[in-house]
Amino acid sequence: MSDELDYLSAGGRLKTLLEPLKSQGLREVFIATDIDDAKQKSQISPAVHIMYRGDRLEENTQSGRVSKATQTWLLILIHRSQPNQASAGVFLSRILSVVAGQNHGESTFKRVTAPVAPGYSGGFVYLPLAFEITVKTKGERQ
């Protein structure tokens, strides 16, 4: 069904927004399932891993049939410094410029504080950026 809501479609939209950064040195964009998944693929650098981090219910109307939730999406830049490559800070700026304020459905990606701290392991840095987007759902009438 083409009119059916894909509750997690923001992940695909984020991937589409980030893909053009491959022409600027980003090697890959993954939709990851968890932090360990991102670490296992860390041999590819620089790369961005997109992760759904859950949602927060904002409001219910019509006896709970219609709801609005704010989803949090985490983008983790995995970077290892190499000669003739943009720094992690440059890649973070590029990510912010292509995602912040971009539309998805009836909402836009708004940057928020990341729910996880940066990490460092084996010469790689894991730098999180978080974005929120609003999703409205509507249950069927009985």
> For residue range 6-21, what is the model confidence (pLDDT) as tens digits?
899 999 999 999 999 9
Element (H, E) at 138: strand 124-138
- pLDDT score for 3: 67
- pLDDT score for 1: 44
Phi, psi angles (nearest 5°) of residue 110? -115, 130
Convert the pLDDT of each residue in 41-97 to its tens digit: 547 899 999 999 999 987 767 666 778 899 999 999 999 988 888 999 999 999 999
- The CB density around residue 140, as the number of other CB atoms within 10 Å, is 5
CA distance linking residue 27 with residue 37, whole number of Å: 17
39 band by pLDDT with thresholds 50, 70 and 90: low
| DSSP class per residue in 64-129 | TTEEEEEEEEEEEEEE---TTS--HHHHHHHHHHHHTT-EETTEE-EEE--SS--EEETTEEEEEE
Average pLDDT of the residues in 104-125: 93
Average pLDDT of the residues in 9-35: 91
- pLDDT score for 62: 63
Looking from the CA of 26 toward its CB, the CA atoms found within 13 Å total 25
